[in-house]
Amino acid sequence: MINGWKVFLTLPRFLRTLTKSKSMAKKVKRDPNLVTEEYRYHWLQKRCRYFLWLFDIKLIVHNRDNWIDKGCLMVANHQSNIDPGILFSLNDFSKTAPCAFIAKLELQNDKTFKRFLTLIDVLFLDRKNPRQALEVMQEANELIRIPRTMVIFPEGTRSHSEEMGEFQAGSFKIAQKAHVPIIPVSIVNSYRVLNKKAKKRGRKYVHIVFHKPIKPDTFMTKPTDLIANNVKQIIQKGLDQFANVDDKKAYHEYKKELKKKS
């Protein structure tokens, strides 16, 4: 759960974040050129990191170098509302293509989320409308070529648990049509972040595992359900690998590695 003391101590910043996001969203809707894309992306990333701090989330990132420096399809499991923000906070714009997302249509009408999602590239998918889904896939292909890291959560909704739901195979057509690599990502333990019981655990540790990119030549002619199953198995391996580790120890080791690299 959110840390009330952190909100209290940074209340002016918290309120400015809400008001400025609303103001910028209005400008972008009126004319996207009124606020530069670079500014919007960097501003939102800083706010994502701020919200992760408010929730006491400690990220432990594995194999980050697997995030390649060109357009790709990033496929992750979906445990919590915080998952897109986690991936966005890790996006190094100087080394990797900026993230774009495919989100469910309902978020387009959510007053809280909408003001933030308007600032970056987000495509809203109506799962009940096959024609609109085709249009979204075409837009996704165009964004990847800019380039963008197109992020999808093929379960279609949050699992709220360690268990993954079924993958929607159709979303993998994006990688086939754009002829780009697929990067599977395992998000471990993020479902605990918004869980009231997690508050008793103290700090919250979330593992992010970037798996090796799957080259397009290896899946171009394969059925999408076979691709989906293969990617799901890879993501499951990451979930299994870090399900029962000493999170606190892993976090300190990760921070040491970051210091060495810097």
pLDDT at res. 202: 42
Place of tokens 């980050």: 64
SS3 31: coil
Do 186 and 77 form a contact (C-beta atoms < 8 A)? yes
Identify the CATH assignment for 58-261 out of 3.40.1130.10, 3.40.50.920, 1.10.10.10, 3.40.980.10.
Answer: 3.40.1130.10
pLDDT at res. 47: 96
Q: Where are the domains of the chain?
A: 58-261
Residue 16 token pair: 């400015």
pLDDT at res. 194: 75
Per-residue model confidence as pLDDT tens for the chain (262 residues): 677 889 889 999 999 999 999 999 999 999 999 999 999 999 999 999 999 999 999 999 999 999 999 999 999 999 999 999 999 999 999 999 999 999 888 888 887 788 999 999 999 988 778 788 889 999 999 999 999 999 999 998 888 888 999 999 999 999 999 999 999 999 999 998 877 665 454 468 999 999 999 999 999 999 999 999 999 999 999 999 999 899 999 999 999 999 888 7
d(CA 14, CA 50): 9
pLDDT at res. 130: 79
pLDDT at res. 236: 98
